[in-house]
Structure formats: structure tokens, C-alpha cells
Amino acid sequence: MTTREWSIAAIRNDIVSGAVSAVEICRSTLDRIQAVGPALNAFNLVDADRALASASAIDRERAAGAELGPLAGVPVAVKDNMCVRGMRTTASSRILDRFVPPYDATVVARLEAAGAVIVGKTNCDEFAMGSSNENSAFGPVRNPWATDRTPGGSSGGAAAAVAARCVPLSLGSDTGGSIRQPAAFCGVTGLKPSYGRVSRYGLLAFASSLDQIGPITGTVAETALALAVIAGPDPRDSTSSRDPVPDYAAALTGDIDGIRIGVPRNFVSDGVEAGVRRAFDASLATLQSAGATLVDVELPHARSAIPVYYLVCTAEASSNLARYDGVKYGYRAATAPDESLTRMYRRTRDEGFGAEVKRRIMLGTYVLSAGYYDAFYLKAQQVRTLLRRDYDAAFEVVDAVATPTTPTAAFRLGEKTGDPLQMYLADVFTVSAPLAGLPAISIPCGFAGSDGSADRLPVGLHLTGRFLDEPTLLRVADAYQRLTDWHTQAPVLG
């Protein structure tokens, strides 16, 4: 049951065999985006002319008898915080609303070299800061399963676009859960690779020790294909891993006999909605039926992961976002002739950034300032070390750690916007993996109501693996999808 009606492999095979042209695939993709995209507000930009020109180039290559790349003719959407040369890239921020990058992100160059056709840029929380996609200067994205609910964030548009069958592959970025949480809310597969596995060159930086780009797809098999294309060392990112890229597709054997799955029972016992809990327990039983062994593990510092995450990421953000000053690119506030440079900076940033970005810059500036650095920032970095040690200990006895991706299914638009702390607490199960640099994936594992409603909302199973051991992580997740059909179910749209 691993195939979906419209997969990356099926599209490529049909193009290679000549059953369909890349231009035909591209046109049907653009039609689909036009039909469902506006109601979901999933795209900040669709560049039909550029996409059709890329598709047409693939068709010419095929006609000339060239060997086609692994993503030949596959339509891809890119989160709007990654640079595509000549294509407006905004990070969903007013401060960059007219920025046109003069270069490609490494992931974009690799996708195009593999034959992918980039159709546009997806909506996200401003500078990837948010868990609901409501912090976008271009309005919220709507969840394809229930349009009065959030798609999650910050890669909300990227997840919604795959869930709504606009594209079979989108790229998201994940700092504290921004790929995995929207993947869970939208019923799709989302992978945050190990830190350094994928180059960050051309990703607009939010928190540089945590940020990582990863694929969002319908299935684990497609995620493996996409990861193989974007992973690998990059001389332009000194934090990219030099380790060779394994054969991810070959790791998907379906055999998880003897695999040990760790379950932090104490950690997942509180605050998890009943429907999410049922789906999670059932998913563990499915893995067990396939030969996996369940092992209780302790992650004593996982409960501190949210404060650690918000102290570390805001500190790094306050530094990274200092570059937006109205001089080199982006928005500049109108100034009177006698106003100072400093005042121009301050007004530009106040008018150009939204509330959540300003909140995080303020918080990060505070925890880095004299008198608070040791008590907050340094302390958070020390607890980060303890959290890493928790995972090191767990991975001595297990091969993967399982939790729900989120404590609840998708919440309603507007439900948490008035209370930033409540919004942060929703990230409880996703912030630990990036703090420890580990790979983690969310896959659909059922449906649940939420807050007492009768809505049928997707639930995500979250698996964390050893550093750079994406092969085992993908093998377990793929084995689960061979036994279930949650990932093949699609929302009914307008």
C-alpha cells in the first residue's frame, strides 16, 4: 500500500516512457493549483511561464535521447524562505516583499539538476517563525482537511500543497518542527534530516544551529527519492556533513523484524488528546505486529526542551535578523531628510517585521543581554547538552524513538494567536530532535476529532533516529506505510 495515485516515481516513469509529456504534467499541476490554491492560500507565488519552460526543456532532453534525472518533470513547490534566482522570495515578510534573489539555494540547484520543475513558492510563517502559518504577511494558509483550521507551521503552505495534491513534492524548512508539525496536521509525510545532511546555503537564516531543509511528500518512498537528490556536502555551507550519502531507496526493505522502538511513556502521558493517543497506541501495535520490539525509554530532559528551544532559537534569530536594515535589500521606511540612519533602521524594522518576529527578536536580544546571558542563554545551552546525552543513552538500546508528532490534531485559526506561550507549548514533541541534531519524520497514523468536534483530522506518528541514520528511520516509516493506508487518503476539496 505504498503507492499513492500520483507519485514522484509514477510521474517520472510516465515521462520517460513517453506516456505523458513534462509539459502536460506541468499544465495539469498549474490547473490544480489554480483550482484549489487560492482557497487554501498555500502559494505566495506561482510562476507558470518559468515552470512550463523548464518542463519543455525536459521534453526536449527526452526527444534528444538524453538520460533523464531522478526527478525529471516532477513538479515541486519550494517554501518561500529559500532563494530561487530571479523568483521573488519573501519569507512571507513585508520586509522582503520585493526581494528577487540573484542566486539559487543549493537545494534548488540540485532539484533542477535532477530535472525537477519548480512551480512556485509556498506560504509560511514569517521567517519560519510560527506553528500555525498565521504569522504570514500574506495571510494564513488553510488546512485542506478543515478550512477553518490551521495547516500547522511554519511550512504550512508546503504541507497543504502536497495534501491538496497540487504537487507531489515540496521543500520545507524545520527549526523546531516546521516540517513535521504541518505534515502531521495535513496528513502527509515530512522529514527533518540530520543537522548538516542538507546544505542551508540560500535558506534565509532563522536559527543557524537548528535550521534544516527537508522534503514533504505523500509517502516515505518519495521522501527517500527527494532526500537522495538534496542531501550531501556543499562547499558553500561549512556545517554540511562530509559523510557520503547512503542509498536511501535501498534501505526501504519493508523488514523491521528485530528493530527496537523506544517509547518515552512518561513524556507522552500528559496533555495528549484522546484521539491522538488512540492513533499513536494503534501505530505502536502495528509496528510491533511487523516484528518491532517496543522498549520503554526515559528522556528526562525532554520536558525542558521547549524553554531550551525558545531561548536558543530566539537568541540566534535576534542575531540573524540584524541584517534586515533597509539598506542592502528589502523594505525601507520613508524618512524625513533630517532623520538619522539609526532612526531609519528602527522604523524600517518596526514597519517591516510582524508581531511574532519582533517578539522573538526582543526575547533573543533580552536573553543575550548583559545580566541575563548566563541565567538564560548559557543555561539553555547546557540543558541542550543534557538532552543530547538523553538521546545518546536511549540510542544505545533502541533504533528509533516514537511519540505523537503533536499533542492535538490541527487547531482552529485564531485559537492560539492571542497567547504566544500556548502556541509554543504545541511544539512539545518536535523541538527535541533539532536541539540534538537528529533526523525525525512525521507520517500519517490515523484520524481524530479535536476539541470535541466531529472533524476528521489527520494525526502524525513521530519517529526520531540516530544522527545521520536516515536509512533506518526511513525503513521503519516505510514499513509502517506498507501496512497502513492513512497516507493514501486525501481531503475532499471544494
Partner 1 sequence: MSVTLTIAEVQRIAVLAHLELTEDEQRMFARQLGEILAYAEQVQSVDTSGVPATAHVHVPEGTEREDEPRPSLSVADAVANAPDAAAEAGLFRVPRVIG
Residue 180 CB, nearest distance to partner 1 (Å)?
A: 18
Of 126 and 478, the one with the shorter C-beta distance to partner 1 is 126
154: preceding bond cis by omega (within 30 degrees): yes
Can you say whether residue 212 is alpha, beta or left, with left for phi > 0 and alpha for psi between -120 and 50 degrees? beta
Binding test (CB under 8 A) with partner 1, winner from 332, 412, 456, 482: 332
Confirm or reject binding of residue 288 to partner 1 (CB under 8 A).
no
From residue 312, how far is each of 132, 152, 337 by CA, in Å?
20, 22, 39
Contact 94, 351 (CB under 8 A): yes
Instruction: Tell me how long the chain is.
Output: 494
**154 counts as catalytic:** yes
> Which of 114, 273, 101 lies closest to 185, judged by CA?
273
Of 127 and 376, the one with the shorter C-beta distance to partner 1 is 376
Spatial separation of the C-alpha atoms in residues 45 and 99, rounded to whole Å: 13
Confirm or reject binding of residue 6 to partner 1 (CB under 8 A).
no
Spatial separation of the C-alpha atoms in residues 296 and 318, rounded to whole Å: 38
Of 328 and 494, the one with the shorter C-beta distance to partner 1 is 328
Confirm or reject binding of residue 329 to partner 1 (CB under 8 A).
yes
**178 counts as catalytic:** yes
Confirm or reject binding of residue 308 to partner 1 (CB under 8 A).
yes
Residue 431 CB, nearest distance to partner 1 (Å)?
A: 13
Under 8 Å CB-to-CB from 283, ≥6 apart: which residues? Answer: 402, 445, 446, 461, 480, 484
Confirm or reject binding of residue 285 to partner 1 (CB under 8 A).
no
Binding test (CB under 8 A) with partner 1, winner from 195, 201, 206, 411: 195
Please give the full DSSP string across 313-344, using - where no structure is assigned.
Answer: HHHHHHHHGGG-SSSSSS------TT--HHHH
Of 76 and 468, the one with the shorter C-beta distance to partner 1 is 468
Binding test (CB under 8 A) with partner 1, winner from 53, 66, 343, 414: 343
Of 5 and 374, the one with the shorter C-beta distance to partner 1 is 374
Binding test (CB under 8 A) with partner 1, winner from 385, 392, 451, 485: 385
Environment class of residue 336 by beta-carbon count within 10 Å: exposed (0-12), middle (13-18) or buried (19+)? exposed
Given 7, 54, 79, 416, the catalytic residue: 79
Residue 94 CB, nearest distance to partner 1 (Å)?
A: 12
Please state the φ and ψ torsions of residue 427, each to the nearest 5 degrees.
Answer: -90, 15
Please state the φ and ψ torsions of residue 260, each to the nearest 5 degrees.
Answer: -105, 120
Segment 148 to 187, residues that bind partner 1, using CB under 8 A = none
Which cell goes with 219? Answer: 509517502
Residue 388 CB, nearest distance to partner 1 (Å)?
A: 6
Strands 117-122 and 43-46: antiparallel
Binding test (CB under 8 A) with partner 1, winner from 127, 145, 206, 310: 310
- Would you give the DSSP letter of residue 123? -
Given 131, 178, 199, 442, the catalytic residue: 178
Spatial separation of the C-alpha atoms in residues 89 and 116, rounded to whole Å: 19
**328 counts as catalytic:** no
Of 60 and 389, the one with the shorter C-beta distance to partner 1 is 389
What's the count of helices (H) and strands (E) in the chain, helices before strands?
16, 11
Confirm or reject binding of residue 392 to partner 1 (CB under 8 A).
no
Binding test (CB under 8 A) with partner 1, winner from 51, 380, 398, 463: 380
Q: Which position has the grid cell 516583499?
A: 97
Segment 12 to 31, residues that bind partner 1, using CB under 8 A = none
Segment 46 to 105, residues that bind partner 1, using CB under 8 A = 98-100, 102-103
Which cell goes with 8? Answer: 514522484
Segment 346 to 375, residues that bind partner 1, using CB under 8 A = 346-347, 349-350, 353, 355, 358-359, 361-363, 365-366, 369, 375
Binding test (CB under 8 A) with partner 1, winner from 16, 19, 327, 397: 327
Give the binding range for partner 1 (CB under 8 A) out of 213-221, 291-299, 431-439, 450-458.
431-439
Spatial separation of the C-alpha atoms in residues 204 and 278, rounded to whole Å: 38
Binding test (CB under 8 A) with partner 1, winner from 16, 322, 393, 397: 322
List the catalytic residues: 79, 154, 178
